[in-house]
Amino acid sequence: MNSPLERARVLDAEMQLQRAWLELSLRDLSSAARASPWAQLQPLRLGLSLFRYRSLWLAAGSLLVSLFRRHAHKEKS
């Protein structure tokens, strides 16, 4: 069974990941809004910019996999 300290650490890591993702998204939004005079192309550019952060996608994926493994391990015990 997971200890409260371990659960708190996982939640803290998850919140830090979400905060970093939001900061990067906000930075992209604000820079795209300032740089692009083409309002029609801005949603496309924004959608493509989200795929730029491969390391965040990998970090989020590994966090989800580890949470799933812990949950599956807890169910076996």
- Total structural domains within the chain: 1
Owning domain of residue 38 = 4-76
Of 23-32, 49-58, 68-77, least confident by mean pLDDT is 49-58
Mean pLDDT taken over the chain: 77
Q: What pLDDT band is residue 27 in, cutting at 50, 70 and 90? A: confident
Question: pLDDT for 42-69, tens place per residue?
Answer: 555 655 566 667 777 778 888 888 888 8
Burial class (CB in 10 A: 0-12, 13-18, 19+), 31: exposed
At a CB cut-off of 8 Å and minimum separation 6, what does 14 contact? 63
Locus of tokens 């996982």: 10
